[in-house]
Structures are given as structure tokens and as C-alpha cells.
Amino acid sequence: MIDNKNQAVLQPLVHQEATPMTEKHKAAEQIVEAIGDSYDVLVRATTVFPFTLFPDTITVDRSKLSITRRTFFKLAEVLSIRIEDILNVTANVGPFLGSVSISTRFYDANKSYPLNFLTRGDALKVKRIVLGYLIAMQKEVDCSALSTRELAALLDELGKVAPQEKG
């Protein structure tokens, strides 16, 4: 049973729920949209098995880069970095394998976060897409209108060092 005291508290909430687009609903919609964007994976690469017993993974989506380091079965350390916080990305490649190193604005600016034993093509593709994303953000390009596949292809092209760079 609702007494007069509780009714006075609930009345503004009832009135607020009746309006079509409250601040609460707007915030909820924005969060749901952000969640949807985080499922748009632009590139994912996994380390090669014989060199790492428990494969590590690097994933780039529309809002962040995540490095998952696995140390044992069902054990992992996940490092997530917002794209805006990445200072630089480098790829070191050999004939078959490569590594990616991420430098960030936070954590420790002098320390990079390497991921070794990727395939050569994966290391170069991750570098190109992240670098392309950094360039696009620096030029204030709105990437939200592009589909995931189109965005990945355009960022890959933008992140190339030279037109003849091969993956």
C-alpha cells in the first residue's frame, strides 16, 4: 500500500516515465549503441600455436584495442586501450612471423605493449588498421556511418606506409 509520503516521491517518476524520451532513456540508448559498436570487430589476430602454448589475441573494434594474454587454461589477462589513447603502433616482421607493439598515452608512455608470434600478415594488418584509425581520428573523420567491412578496408588502406606495401 502506498502512503502519501511514498506517493509524493513516486509521482515525479511516474510523470517522467510517461514522457517519450527522458534523459534516462537517452542515456540507456547511448549505452546500447556503444555496446553495439564494441561488437564491430575490425581486425582480430591470434598468436601462432607452436610458439605459444596458450595463444594470445589482439582485437581492434570501433572503440578500443584489446590484448588478451593467456597463461593457462581459462586464465587470461585482458588489457583494453581506447583508440584515442594509443600514441603509436609498430610492427616488426620477418619472413614468416611478426610482432606488434602498442605505445599508449596512459599506463607508462615509455613502455610499449608487445604481442609476439603473430603471422606476418596479421601483424602488418593490425598495424595498418590501428594506424589508419589514428590518422582518421586525428583528421576528425566520422567513421560511424561506414559498415564494419568498409571501415576496416578503408583504415587498412589509410594505414599503409606506401602504396606498394604488401601484407
Q: What pLDDT shows up at residue 164?
A: 58
- Give strand pairing partners of 102: 89, 113
Q: What is the pLDDT of residues 57-78, one digit of tens each?
A: 999 998 899 999 998 888 999 9
Sign of CA dihedral 150, 148, 103, 67: negative
Q: What is the pLDDT, as a whole number, of residue 8?
A: 47
Closest CA to 125 of 155, 148, 151: 155
Q: What is the pLDDT of residues 11-42, one digit of tens each?
A: 444 444 545 568 888 888 878 777 766 678 99
pLDDT number for residue 28: 80
pLDDT at 7: 45
**CA dihedral for 152, 158, 163, 164, sign (positive or negative):** negative
| pTM flag (> 0.85) | no
The greatest distance separating any two alpha carbons of the chain, rounded to the nearest whole angstrom, comes to 77
Checking if the pLDDT of 46 tops 90, the result is yes
For the record, the C-alpha cell of 137 comes out as: 581520428
42-158 has CATH 2.30.29.30 classification: yes
Domain locations in the chain? Answer: 1-38, 42-158
Residue whose cell numbers read 575490425? 42
**Residue 117, Ramachandran bin (φ over 0: left; ψ between -120 and 50: alpha; else beta):** left
Per-residue pLDDT at 9 exceeds 80: no
104/84 Cα distance (integer angstroms) = 9
Note the pLDDT tens digit of each residue in 104-163: 887 666 788 889 999 999 999 999 999 999 999 999 998 888 888 999 999 999 888 765
Q: How far apart are CA 50 and CA 107, in angstroms?
A: 31
